[in-house]
Structure 1
């Protein structure tokens, strides 16, 4: 039976076989540093959004091999007895630093840095990537939709279009990315995401008439409820809705057809009937592009499902987990890097800073070698870039460190609320230059500048 209290088997077979071989060679206890980064922003987008950090910290706490899981590994002969003994007492005792949830990221951003022994760190690769790739993809799509919607609220309603557990995570990520609420009750229960919902077409079809269905819903939920008006004839439904609820009718929802045209007609009809404050909600295969196209329509809010939970065509953030340093024979960390064609990495432990210009907008992501003089070296990079040569006062600029301490000596020290992540994303979006918000395909909104030297064998 699946153990819901353990996250240890949410991993790949080869993670365990690497540990077995490393235990045999004696390298399993070598100190290593792994880094999570994306080589590019998928889909020609201008920025990405970090999400899933809180869920990952939760998963790290439960990354323990339970007796039934060890029995499974033994029965399948996945690893040998020595490795099973190691897994029996597995606990991550290392350090994790990373970008906070809600932050924006760019190509090469060291989104997360995991430091510990090889054996304890490599086991985390799959769960780190599965959570961050999924949640960051959803949050990135949600952020673009929220910007397209402006001050009109968005409701996430895509659980039925994805895996049942993925729907819970998607609702959380969407809320961080700017959505106002979700239809997913589990996400509300676990994370405090506001939940919303009233009725579907089935409720109308259940009753002998649409009039009776509306009357029943209003009697149960009050005049402030949202009535679904496109089961039959929209105009007839609007008249019936206002007749029953009066001008206090909360909202109507349109789920099909030409939404822009329908919204204009419904708005005019509502106003003519005195329901001038009744809001119009639209749903039906929306994405950031269709939301933007509805900007001039008299729409008050959107419900988004399929596009949101699939990352609006980009279901993964394309993040990777690569070793960038390992302990040498003398006990020192030395840079290592992958050199394969098309998939290179930069060796060495890194620090990241976001340069904020005098106008309050980000100008660059600066990545330098970690160490006590990292801040100074980042400042030197700025001078090399020629900041201030355009007449602006470089003294009014700021340099914000991006990596926060999340886990120290195996203890979680960086947990925070979903609300904090949501607020951070609002601040991060305000920090981006205007071109970052374009929906058309393009390059990253700010450059990622690497200042080595980068080592690696």
Structure 2
């Protein structure tokens, strides 16, 4: 698959209004003061991980690249800004020609991160870079939260596949993004067809309780489904009596029945009973899929149960209790004057209340111990130590306004698996704890 195949459809609307009003009012004031063209460096980072989490997962980088490409102020958008008197006429004229022509570097999608990690760096003029703040944070905060939850669930599930089923529990567009982020974090499929269409994620799904209730009997419903989808389908067996449903399912589909799904009750107890019953009926290859408000803890509690796959919805798309990552987008350096060659000056917020930041354009590397396991996230603004030169985490994403790092979603998924495997074993513990790696500043 080449880069052109990975682009969004050409009819994707402008992302220019996925922003806060003050981005545009800052732009107007900067244009008037003559500072809009100062070369500036913004960085995305988080001061802390969600409480109790041991690592974060970078999710949404690919969507950020798409959003930057489609950040255009077309006539409809400009008419809205003019009608609402949000900015003046000179600013509208400037926006009409807006294209991001700067550079973006950052952690590649699927990589893990820690407090202070410079997840994304946006460099260009102040005017062109400041406008991207809200849309970048919106994407990264949401997708990284879902990817982190997915990663924890994938650890709990082990080799058993996970199905993303959260479309009905969130906004319809967020559902597509969540399915994508879940795939990066380790899920194997989604029930959401829009996600399958846009991102080529495998889709699954057969029937709900409504289909059983539609028919005069459970037998009639199962017969209709098997006649339509074949014996390899998955039959939902907890509408009425599970034991009777399993018996009926095997009678109709035969011992080659693909799977049964349990969506309520004591899943641990039912899984054992259903497995025994299926085996007694000769359906030894029929799989058991469980759903019903699962999270990483519920999945872990079923590790000893004869379960073959998990379907997860609400807890996944809401970040399993942490729906955002508290990422921020801060100016860390700006030029002393106009022109591309003006020297950069580190800048940083120094207010009280724990919201300080470190100025300067940063590099990041992950230092391994003697056995090759990561032992620290190292961040600096000066020269990179020779021993860390080959361990740097930041990669080029956009050069001169052109995307240079678009990749298949499977690449991000595989990267995450490798990155997580390189962390200390305690990273996979579900119990609350501090970040598994300390952040060191040079």
* TM-score interval, smaller chain: over 0.9
What corresponds to 1:150 in structure 2?
158
- 1:225-249 Cα offsets, whole Å, 9 max, x none, are 1000000000000000011111101
What TM-score does the superposition give when structure 1 sets the normalisation length? Answer: 0.92
- 1:35-83 Cα offsets, whole Å, 9 max, x none, are 0001000131000000100011011111000101101000000000111
Aligned partner (choices 277, 289, 292) of residue 285 of structure 2: 277
Post-superposition shift, 1:279? 0.6
Q: Give distance in 2, aligned partners of 1:316 and 1:375.
A: 33
Post-superposition shift, 1:441? 1.0
What corresponds to 2:212 in structure 1?
204
SS at match of 1:7: coil
- In structure 1, the gaps of 5 or more residues are 380-397, 452-457
Q: Give distance in 2, aligned partners of 1:400 and 1:234.
A: 54
What corresponds to 2:347 in structure 1?
336
What corresponds to 2:32 in structure 1?
24
Change (3 A) 1:399 1:447: farther
Post-superposition shift, 1:357? 2.4
Cα RMSD (Å) of the superposition?
Answer: 1.2
Q: Give distance in 1, aligned partners of 2:241 and 2:370.
A: 55
Q: Give distance in 1, aligned partners of 2:344 and 2:180.
A: 37
1:417 equivalenced with 2:408 (yes/no): yes
Post-superposition shift, 1:399? 4.9
Q: 1:95·1:114 contact (CA, 8 Å) conserved in 2?
A: yes
1:124 equivalenced with 2:135 (yes/no): no
- Describe how 1:429-440 pairs up with structure 2 within 5 A: 429-440=420-431
Post-superposition shift, 1:131? 0.3
- Describe how 1:257-296 pairs up with structure 2 within 5 A: 257-296=265-304
Post-superposition shift, 1:166? 0.1
Q: 1:355·1:399 contact (CA, 8 Å) conserved in 2?
A: no
Aligned partner (choices 75, 85, 96) of residue 93 of structure 2: 85
SS at match of 1:248: coil
Q: Give distance in 2, aligned partners of 1:84 and 1:440.
A: 52
Q: Give distance in 1, aligned partners of 2:29 and 2:260.
A: 62
What corresponds to 1:442 in structure 2?
433
Q: 1:41·1:107 contact (CA, 8 Å) conserved in 2?
A: yes
Q: Give distance in 2, aligned partners of 1:254 and 1:437.
A: 27
Aligned partner (choices 359, 369, 377) of residue 371 of structure 2: 359
Q: Give distance in 1, aligned partners of 2:88 and 2:35.
A: 17
Q: 1:172·1:187 contact (CA, 8 Å) conserved in 2?
A: yes
Q: Give distance in 1, aligned partners of 2:373 and 2:188.
A: 25
Aligned partner (choices 308, 312, 321) of residue 316 of structure 2: 308
- How many correspondences in the alignment? 428
Post-superposition shift, 1:4? 4.9
Q: Give distance in 2, aligned partners of 1:257 and 1:217.
A: 24
SS at match of 2:391: strand
Q: Give distance in 1, aligned partners of 2:91 and 2:12.
A: 23
What corresponds to 1:76 in structure 2?
84
Q: Give distance in 2, aligned partners of 1:57 and 1:114.
A: 12
What TM-score does the superposition give when structure 2 sets the normalisation length? Answer: 0.95
Q: 2:12·2:70 contact (CA, 8 Å) conserved in 1?
A: no
- Describe how 1:110-189 pairs up with structure 2 within 5 A: 110-189=118-197
- 1:10-45 Cα offsets, whole Å, 9 max, x none, are 000000000000000000000000000010001310
Q: Give distance in 1, aligned partners of 2:261 and 2:134.
A: 41
Q: Give distance in 2, aligned partners of 1:85 and 1:312.
A: 44
Q: Give distance in 2, aligned partners of 1:334 and 1:365.
A: 25
Change (3 A) 1:44 1:399: farther
- In structure 2, the gaps of 5 or more residues are 1-10
Q: Give distance in 1, aligned partners of 2:308 and 2:103.
A: 46
What corresponds to 1:8 in structure 2?
16
Q: 2:38·2:337 contact (CA, 8 Å) conserved in 1?
A: no
SS at match of 2:36: helix
SS at match of 1:247: coil
Moved over 6 A (4+): none
